[in-house]
Structure 1
């Protein structure tokens, strides 16, 4: 087990509603650009919510051409594997290639047996299956022969391991809205245990079917009705007028790497994973649990070896759910006590929507971008904060140097995760 070597992020990639690469994503964060718009979530049946932060104007081949420094052989392989694949596979390929390129793994001599793969995603083929129903009912025998592979989450493992020649451990993890953080934690543990030196962690895009969307509406989790005519104002984390999460889409990939491996390859880490926590609060329902959130943050701090007073920025879970926001704000205040008012808080979901399975990865990437570029993105819709004793970022971007930051993700079913990051 590697105990003396730190584990860092050496590459990142993203396809989202506010940017299809790190440069455009970063620019949107700085500008406070929202990806939430009027969209047609279902032509039949009609749904009561018609806003989301979906990936628009998507062309796999065109976006593939825009990725820099891909070897010709790798480009051809990616095109072959992705051109006729489901949307979720295509976006994973693109974000993973971006991260691979930034980590300079195209020129690496890292052994394929020492590279791991963690797919952070669950129920990712729901809409793909839903769209096939009418065709299947009419002509069942015309179902694609690849369907038996493509409806399985492990299709992501197969495609990406083939694309990148990965022969270490590879698997799929799920944790509801905390899935992205769970993926990072499990990738970190693979390296910590010495099983691999490098790990590709991929947050799968949430491609919800109309049934999934209606399910969230029925339990009161999804917002979008109160501000249906002003979609960019609908996601309101920690604001008195929040009503529920707004659905977002993003595929995000990061490369985790041991310090020893990064040094050997002469690659710099963008940020280090200082500590993490992943705990359950023994709850099968959707409601958040303050004690579980408190325990996750405290354990992450303990494992990071840092005092609560060392944290100066938190990228909150901040889902825009009234109960969720209230609970997280209480938990932060309980963990950080008198220091809580000194910590800047924002929620990337205000710009990207809630990207569900990939949300934790979206927010870790956003945290690293902000730490490295010296700014904090705004909470663009925060007009009346639910608490006055916490330091929420305002409606404008500010210059700020976060040195040690925390990123929270909490999921249905009592899943609580927290990650502590340090700028390298």
Structure 2
């Protein structure tokens, strides 16, 4: 499916291993892991997670125009964690793209929020107030309990009055958000689109259900390693500014990378199990849209959750697309460091892909000891230098949702 291309002119990130693109890049290069033990004796749920922590709004808004900071403070300073994180990274990305000073008309800037089921923790807290004193339930909760509150608050803070929407697709949400934003830009509906991967602030009920399903690990995440036992939840929010190349050129904006193709397909499956054929179709579609053969791909940021079935399925799909020859691409999985950031994963991992390509390195997987598939060219426990111009970033979601995004960087920059 054609997406453009769309130029990436701004990035913002907050996750367990770094706040801001520079800190995130340095952590990737070092192989810093944000996964820690979080055992809760009150549940039988997961023992490990990669948690974000609180958002310091003063720090997050430092250096941005005063009107934006005021709107952000009024709209989100006391909002739930996920919304505060979304505002912080969106402002960061737009500041990076130099869009906060009126560089584009407000009705030419769009917003796409990737993620769903975002209000569970807030609903639980408000539910406790309801049980104690119904009259004290805040009227604002009528808005806060809607996922679309993210969209409304972000459009208000950014003064973005173009087209916008909320996109859901389980763990593929982030990639679907990127594709949607790129299509809006390519179609000329907007000149720029802010794509925000929303934080998944899971409730104890959701955590326990995923653990009982067998999806979550009781140990740190080990993608593509023989010792893998499931995914580790991570908290993050990340944002990209996607812009029409003509708009970026006219503004003389820095272009970090281009989204040059994408594939989205369903595999007619309502369950949690992955499908090799669907994953192959998504990657093949991304390459076809980019007009590039598999041999041009130098790196794949794999979905790689650490799930035994998921890892084996993706490994088989990668071999079908790229084979096992000497020109096969390097593969790693950022979830080994950040945990599985669910709805934000696609946007976070697109940024991880961009900064690695621009920085000329590929991040390590500190727990990769015994590969489940020796024919894959996996990055091991040390970072490696690599000059890569084209990469795929994969995202696969429960319910048979398969996505892959093709990302190109023109040359490498430190």
TM-score interval, normalised by the smaller of the two chains: over 0.9
2:184 is matched with 190
TM-score of the superposition, structure 2-length normalised?
Answer: 0.96
Q: Any idea what SS the aligned residue of 1:200 has?
A: strand
Q: Any idea what SS the aligned residue of 2:404 has?
A: strand
1:60 and 2:56 equivalent?
Answer: yes
2:328 is matched with 342
1:16 is matched with 15
1:290 and 2:290 equivalent?
Answer: no
1:146 is matched with 140
1:115 is matched with 109
Give the CA deviation at 1:109. Answer: 2.8
Q: Distance in 1 between matches of 2:99 and 2:227?
A: 46
Q: Deviations over 1:79-131 (max 9, x none)?
A: 11111111111000100011001101123431111111100010011111123
Aligned residue pairs total 409
2:403 is matched with 417
2:388 is matched with 402
2:250 is matched with 264
Q: Distance in 2 between matches of 1:133 and 1:339?
A: 57
1:51 is matched with 48
2:71 is matched with 77
TM-score of the superposition, structure 1-length normalised?
Answer: 0.94
Q: Any idea what SS the aligned residue of 1:196 has?
A: coil
Q: Distance in 2 between matches of 1:326 and 1:8?
A: 33
2:83 is matched with 89
Give the CA deviation at 1:340. Answer: 7.3
Show structure 1 runs of 5+ residues with no match: 228-233
Q: Distance in 1 between matches of 2:11 and 2:103?
A: 19
Q: Distance in 1 between matches of 2:47 and 2:130?
A: 27
Q: Distance in 2 between matches of 1:331 and 1:6?
A: 25
Give the CA deviation at 1:341. Answer: 6.1
1:370 and 2:348 equivalent?
Answer: no
1:104-253 → structure 2 map (5 Å cutoff) = 104-224=98-218, 227=219, 234-253=220-239
Question: Is residue 63–residue 94 contact of structure 1 (8 Å, CA) maintained in 2?
Answer: no
Q: Distance in 2 between matches of 1:114 and 1:279?
A: 29
Q: Distance in 1 between matches of 2:327 and 2:215?
A: 28
Q: Distance in 2 between matches of 1:240 and 1:340?
A: 23
Give the CA deviation at 1:222. Answer: 0.5
Cα RMSD over matched residues? 1.5
Question: Is residue 13–residue 253 contact of structure 1 (8 Å, CA) maintained in 2?
Answer: yes
Show structure 2 runs of 5+ residues with no match: none
Give the CA deviation at 1:206. Answer: 0.7
Question: Is residue 55–residue 81 contact of structure 2 (8 Å, CA) maintained in 1?
Answer: no
